[in-house]
A and B are shown apart, each in its own frame.
Chain A
């Protein structure tokens, strides 16, 4: 079985956030880069799947040289193969452009049965790349997955539980599939020391736009079809108002206020 994992390096949410407001991007230097927390769940799910079904895990990322660190973390966890997709042309890509790069990488790897990724990244928080990759490749998109019940490479079948509002949806789909996982699907293990040491010595292979057969015009800041036009820090919330009195009176006041604020009619 061939299992792929898409991981992203993001700034540490614990660190101080600095914005480059005109460009609409984060000032990433000086921010402690870490592996996207949701992708750790994806990695763990891949490892658990490999333990159950036998196979190989390939981890890929799109990022600059520093992103090698997340691939090393994956190697330390005994992932079999890693690749970094990198090209100057990729800089400033929006979600669709990123997804097309990742999709090209997955095609290049070939014979992938299942792809795991985190439901969203903690910097962009758009949460769509997984589904976009599936759409581009024509693979089953399985989002908000809280549990993989069954995965059968031979019969090309996967059964998962998805966390939906108000309950759990059990879905059966055809492989290959892109499975984006939610927090809490498993408990990500930490690498053991031997793993860390071995990973430190590995030369991480790179793929650029030509290797991937990606049209440079369709990626990067120039090639993206969406663009951030403004970022603003939300104004601090004012103190609330506490209404006291009989329930009937308070209810009336609340509905009046809501009508004034045009929240309800």
Chain B
């Protein structure tokens, strides 16, 4: 028998005589572990989630599956950050390869693929070894990042350190075992070692210095104590405790059930008439999906790193709020499950788990949802918590109280007399919608365009453009009411509903079909949320409209504006409705204008700070968000900031003044620039 055949025969003898019982024992116990795991999913997770309310997320299975596969295997979204993305990709795929290889080799013994070794056996072995290397590289990247770089968003608990240490031990001992097995044969250099054991062969050479008998013993004991047992215990740890590694099954489930609708779309309260309570007070009033979100969060902190409230030192961290709610669920959930429904006395979320400053700091900018690799949803949950405070406890600041009162009395958050809503247009020859023959659009001006001095100029520019292009349009004038965005985002769903239903009634009464909006908040709500109340209209934002006008040649831009401009992507135009190109095309059509981008642009744009009803609240804590964004614009050295939203315009206009740059910088709405150029 040549040395190669002897090598494989001897390997097989050792496997069969020495290790088979251990392997069988491991497998049997592992099956038991899997059963316990399955039960624990039901007992510890499924039951908790179903404390929550119903929600249908089972539609469009094919789309959901595609996203799940893309996220799990392609790691989409992880790659938004190169280092962590690569690191996780290596660890994940390395682990998959290790297991694939192991399973193939395990089942090749009984079917005689091992002696002489079939190609599949060798490939499997090679794949495992490469997998192990990938995990080591990824793991080292992770350890370096977590323990040496220490980014602020990463919370390191003992369980993290335990997992890294344990993983390192398992990887090392895995290679060592193979090394011993190869060494013990003592048959010299196996010619094709590179094709199936690149790493362990290398290691085996070091063990050759030990004499045969001790090496034998080492092999036996090592296999049992130092590799098989720790491996088994590691699986037990992952399946039975609440280690963050449990994200391996919790996060994919969450990805499957993710939100297929546009971001930032809030949901109505289903039944105002019969409802006994509104919003969310305690944990079981969230939906099962919102509870799943809490458990799927991997504590990675990407949301925290993009949250404008957090970055401006407000007490809000989306990561921490989610983790605190998760702890609350795990604490209160079992208590609730153990009590009959009519005797339950759940702890209110706002009592200890979330505080009011955190909750009101949110600008509903959706950056957290955009950044999350496992699709955790936060906006709807935050507004649900606000709804309880506003509708049931009437607990909010005096600024919010004033805004809600203004909206109720005067149908605009400014508190200006509703009779003066159309004053801005009185000398512009603008007709009311009813008077226009065969109108193409209703021009929905919005509360800012109607009442705010700076934004009235934008509305005026828009009117000039519409008139110059011969568009037949009208406005609702004093019959236009607030679109309802401030009310809805503050959490007063009742006020939103009554306002919106009134608006819908008026528009339907006039036979409105197409609406042109000035403001992305009006745009978002009229387009995506009014249908919930029966208002189905075709809604356009003025940037889409202007782009069409320019592209079709109906509007010619001839006067140059020789300046450098940076464009600020509004949250409700960009992240919520994916409108990124239209404004840029408009800017590129203006002769002389040079566009530079801020670092955080398009999907990663940084909120101006006015969303979530915060336009109507002062910032009392930390840095001002609008000043942070203005700083980002100043960093581009642009002379102009282009905006497409009245809130953003106000915030950046103020920011420029507050930063003392009013001499060298100016903020304009895109329609004003088009007006100047035509």
- Residues of B contacting A190 in the complex (Cβ-Cβ under 8 angstroms): 394, 401, 404-405
Compute how far the CA of A194 lies from the CA of B274 in the bound complex, rounded to whole angstroms. 10
B278 touches A16 (CB 8 A): no
CB distance from B276 to the nearest CB of A (A): 8
In the complex formed, the residue of B with least CB distance to A191 is: B394
CB distance from B398 to the nearest CB of A (A): 6
The A interface, classified by DSSP as helix, strand, loop or mixed, is: loop
B401 touches A187 (CB 8 A): yes
Report which of B394, B398, B404, B409 forms a contact with A12, defined as CB distance below 8 A.
Answer: B409
Compute how far the CA of A187 lies from the CA of B233 in the bound complex, rounded to whole angstroms. 62
CB distance from B271 to the nearest CB of A (A): 11
**From residue 151 to 191 of chain A, which have CB atoms closer than 8 A to chain B?**
187, 189-191
- Residues of A contacting B391 in the complex (Cβ-Cβ under 8 angstroms): 192-193
A192-B392, A192-B394 known; A16-B419 Cβ under 8 A: yes
B419 touches A15 (CB 8 A): yes
A14 touches B394 (CB 8 A): no
A80 within 8 Å of B by Cβ?
no
B415 within 8 Å of A by Cβ?
yes
B11 within 8 Å of A by Cβ?
no
Compute how far the CA of A107 lies from the CA of B401 in the bound complex, rounded to whole angstroms. 36
B123 within 8 Å of A by Cβ?
no
**From residue 271 to 290 of chain B, which have CB atoms closer than 8 A to chain A?**
272-273, 276-278
CB distance from B279 to the nearest CB of A (A): 10
B401 touches A193 (CB 8 A): no
Report which of A16, A32, A189, A197 forms a contact with B394, defined as CB distance below 8 A.
Answer: A189
**From residue 406 to 464 of chain B, which have CB atoms closer than 8 A to chain A?**
409-410, 415-419
Chain A 18-48: CB-based contact to B (< 8 A → 1; otherwise 0): 0000000000000010100000000000000
A14 touches B392 (CB 8 A): no
B393 touches A34 (CB 8 A): no
CB distance from A122 to the nearest CB of B (A): 13
A14 touches B416 (CB 8 A): yes
**From residue 201 to 253 of chain B, which have CB atoms closer than 8 A to chain A?**
none
B26 within 8 Å of A by Cβ?
no
Compute how far the CA of A34 lies from the CA of B406 in the bound complex, rounded to whole angstroms. 12
Chain B 59-81: CB-based contact to A (< 8 A → 1; otherwise 0): 00000000000000000000000
CB distance from B274 to the nearest CB of A (A): 10
B494 within 8 Å of A by Cβ?
yes
Interface size class, chain A: 10 to 19
A192 touches B401 (CB 8 A): no
Compute how far the CA of A189 lies from the CA of B285 in the bound complex, rounded to whole angstroms. 26
- Residues of B contacting A14 in the complex (Cβ-Cβ under 8 angstroms): 409-410, 415-418
- Residues of B contacting A192 in the complex (Cβ-Cβ under 8 angstroms): 391-394
In the complex formed, the residue of A with least CB distance to B387 is: A193
In the complex formed, the residue of A with least CB distance to B391 is: A193
- Residues of A contacting B277 in the complex (Cβ-Cβ under 8 angstroms): 194
In the complex formed, the residue of A with least CB distance to B279 is: A193
Compute how far the CA of A187 lies from the CA of B400 in the bound complex, rounded to whole angstroms. 13
In the complex formed, the residue of A with least CB distance to B274 is: A197
Compute how far the CA of A197 lies from the CA of B401 in the bound complex, rounded to whole angstroms. 19
CB distance from B273 to the nearest CB of A (A): 8
A193-B278, A194-B392 known; A16-B398 Cβ under 8 A: no
Compute how far the CA of A192 lies from the CA of B277 in the bound complex, rounded to whole angstroms. 10
- Residues of A contacting B409 in the complex (Cβ-Cβ under 8 angstroms): 12, 14, 32, 34
In the complex formed, the residue of A with least CB distance to B398 is: A187
Interface size on B, residues (CB 8 A): 21
CB distance from A12 to the nearest CB of B (A): 6
Compute how far the CA of A190 lies from the CA of B406 in the bound complex, rounded to whole angstroms. 12
Compute how far the CA of A196 lies from the CA of B278 in the bound complex, rounded to whole angstroms. 13
In the complex formed, the residue of B with least CB distance to A77 is: B394
Compute how far the CA of A12 lies from the CA of B411 in the bound complex, rounded to whole angstroms. 13
Chain B 334-353: CB-based contact to A (< 8 A → 1; otherwise 0): 00000000000000000000
CB distance from A51 to the nearest CB of B (A): 14
- Residues of A contacting B394 in the complex (Cβ-Cβ under 8 angstroms): 189-192
- Residues of B contacting A194 in the complex (Cβ-Cβ under 8 angstroms): 276-277, 392
Chain B 9-25: CB-based contact to A (< 8 A → 1; otherwise 0): 00000000000000000
- Residues of A contacting B418 in the complex (Cβ-Cβ under 8 angstroms): 14-15, 32
A15 touches B417 (CB 8 A): yes
Compute how far the CA of A197 lies from the CA of B498 in the bound complex, rounded to whole angstroms. 13
Identify which of A187, A190, A197 gathers the most chain B CB atoms within 10 Å of its CB.
A190
Identify which of B272, B391, B416, B419 gathers the most chain A CB atoms within 10 Å of its CB.
B419
- Residues of B contacting A193 in the complex (Cβ-Cβ under 8 angstroms): 272, 278, 391-392, 494
Compute how far the CA of A15 lies from the CA of B416 in the bound complex, rounded to whole angstroms. 9
CB distance from A134 to the nearest CB of B (A): 31
B417 touches A16 (CB 8 A): yes
In the complex formed, the residue of B with least CB distance to A40 is: B405
Compute how far the CA of A193 lies from the CA of B497 in the bound complex, rounded to whole angstroms. 13
- Residues of B contacting A197 in the complex (Cβ-Cβ under 8 angstroms): 272-273
- Residues of A contacting B417 in the complex (Cβ-Cβ under 8 angstroms): 14-16
Chain A 103-138: CB-based contact to B (< 8 A → 1; otherwise 0): 000000000000000000000000000000000000
CB distance from B350 to the nearest CB of A (A): 15
**From residue 244 to 272 of chain B, which have CB atoms closer than 8 A to chain A?**
272
Identify which of A14, A16, A187 gathers the most chain B CB atoms within 10 Å of its CB.
A14
CB distance from A58 to the nearest CB of B (A): 22
Compute how far the CA of A191 lies from the CA of B415 in the bound complex, rounded to whole angstroms. 19
Compute how far the CA of A74 lies from the CA of B512 in the bound complex, rounded to whole angstroms. 38
Compute how far the CA of A196 lies from the CA of B405 in the bound complex, rounded to whole angstroms. 14
Chain B 74-115: CB-based contact to A (< 8 A → 1; otherwise 0): 000000000000000000000000000000000000000000
Compute how far the CA of A196 lies from the CA of B498 in the bound complex, rounded to whole angstroms. 13
Identify which of A16, A34, A192 gathers the most chain B CB atoms within 10 Å of its CB.
A192
- Residues of B contacting A189 in the complex (Cβ-Cβ under 8 angstroms): 394
Compute how far the CA of A34 lies from the CA of B417 in the bound complex, rounded to whole angstroms. 13
Compute how far the CA of A192 lies from the CA of B275 in the bound complex, rounded to whole angstroms. 13
Compute how far the CA of A193 lies from the CA of B401 in the bound complex, rounded to whole angstroms. 14
- Residues of B contacting A32 in the complex (Cβ-Cβ under 8 angstroms): 409, 418
Compute how far the CA of A190 lies from the CA of B410 in the bound complex, rounded to whole angstroms. 16
Compute how far the CA of A34 lies from the CA of B84 in the bound complex, rounded to whole angstroms. 59
- Residues of A contacting B273 in the complex (Cβ-Cβ under 8 angstroms): 197
- Residues of B contacting A12 in the complex (Cβ-Cβ under 8 angstroms): 409-410
CB distance from A39 to the nearest CB of B (A): 15
- Residues of B contacting A187 in the complex (Cβ-Cβ under 8 angstroms): 398, 401
- Residues of A contacting B272 in the complex (Cβ-Cβ under 8 angstroms): 193, 197
Chain A 187-212: CB-based contact to B (< 8 A → 1; otherwise 0): 10111111011000000000000000
CB distance from A140 to the nearest CB of B (A): 32
- Residues of A contacting B398 in the complex (Cβ-Cβ under 8 angstroms): 187
Compute how far the CA of A192 lies from the CA of B392 in the bound complex, rounded to whole angstroms. 5
In the complex formed, the residue of A with least CB distance to B416 is: A14
CB distance from B86 to the nearest CB of A (A): 51
Chain B 346-388: CB-based contact to A (< 8 A → 1; otherwise 0): 0000000000000000000000000000000000000000000
Compute how far the CA of A193 lies from the CA of B393 in the bound complex, rounded to whole angstroms. 9
CB distance from B366 to the nearest CB of A (A): 27
Compute how far the CA of A211 lies from the CA of B213 in the bound complex, rounded to whole angstroms. 114
CB distance from B376 to the nearest CB of A (A): 29
Compute how far the CA of A193 lies from the CA of B495 in the bound complex, rounded to whole angstroms. 10
Compute how far the CA of A189 lies from the CA of B401 in the bound complex, rounded to whole angstroms. 8
- Residues of B contacting A34 in the complex (Cβ-Cβ under 8 angstroms): 409
Can you identify 11 A-B contacts, CB atoms within 8 angstroms?
Answer: A12-B409, A12-B410, A14-B410, A14-B415, A14-B416, A14-B417, A14-B418, A34-B409, A190-B394, A192-B392, A192-B394
Residues of A within 8 A of B (CB): 12, 14-16, 32, 34, 187, 189-194, 196-197
Residues of B within 8 A of A (CB): 272-273, 276-278, 391-394, 398, 401, 404-405, 409-410, 415-419, 494
Closest 10 CB pairs of A and B: A14-B417, A193-B391, A192-B394, A16-B419, A193-B494, A190-B394, A192-B392, A189-B394, A193-B278, A14-B410
Q: Given contact pairs A14-B409, A16-B417, A192-B393, enumerate 9 new A-B contacts (beta carbons under 8 Å).
A: A16-B419, A32-B409, A190-B404, A190-B405, A191-B394, A193-B392, A193-B494, A194-B392, A196-B494
